[in-house]
Amino acid sequence: MNEIERKFLVLNDSYKQEAFSQSRISQGYLNSHPERAVRVRIKGYKGYLTIKGKSNESGTTRMEWETEIPVAEAKQLLTLCEKGVIDKIRYEVKEGKHTFEVDEFFGDNEGLVIAEIELETEGEMYTKPQWLGKEVTGDERYYNASLSHTPYYTWKNK
């Protein structure tokens, strides 16, 4: 149930030509407490309920539990979420044996593009695509739960 993930800023949009999949995502938080977050997500035509625990010191590993729920229920739960529903398109890009998930944000987070890679271990090696920029793993400003209540536009130029 642990998720090991690294996050990066993205330098340009060449990932779009490399993507094998893309999906529109809407997600909100029933609870965005730093110790635990409860997320509702609609990805394409599917709904999900996810619980995430607090990240370890490096920000790389945390507990994650997710289950698929009917999209009608997800839509209903989104109406109960805290202010700041996230709107983004996720592009999936294969690089070596890994898949990068690249999120292009809209609304109050427009202009932000983040790539994530899930790993089996914290020290696992992976191939970095040319469009991968600065690592922001552990920087809580880039967590979706944080972006929902402190959007990118409020701090991007600081």
- Alpha-carbon dihedral 114, 17, 44, 84, rounded to 10 degrees: 30
Q: Is the dihedral of CA 20, 26, 30, 33 positive or negative?
A: positive
Whether 117 and 103 have beta carbons less than 8 Å apart is answered as: no
Catalytic residue list contains 29: yes
Closest alpha carbon to 68 in 103, 32, 40: 40
- Tell me which of 29, 91, 143, 152 is the catalytic residue: 29
Q: Which residues are catalytic?
A: 29
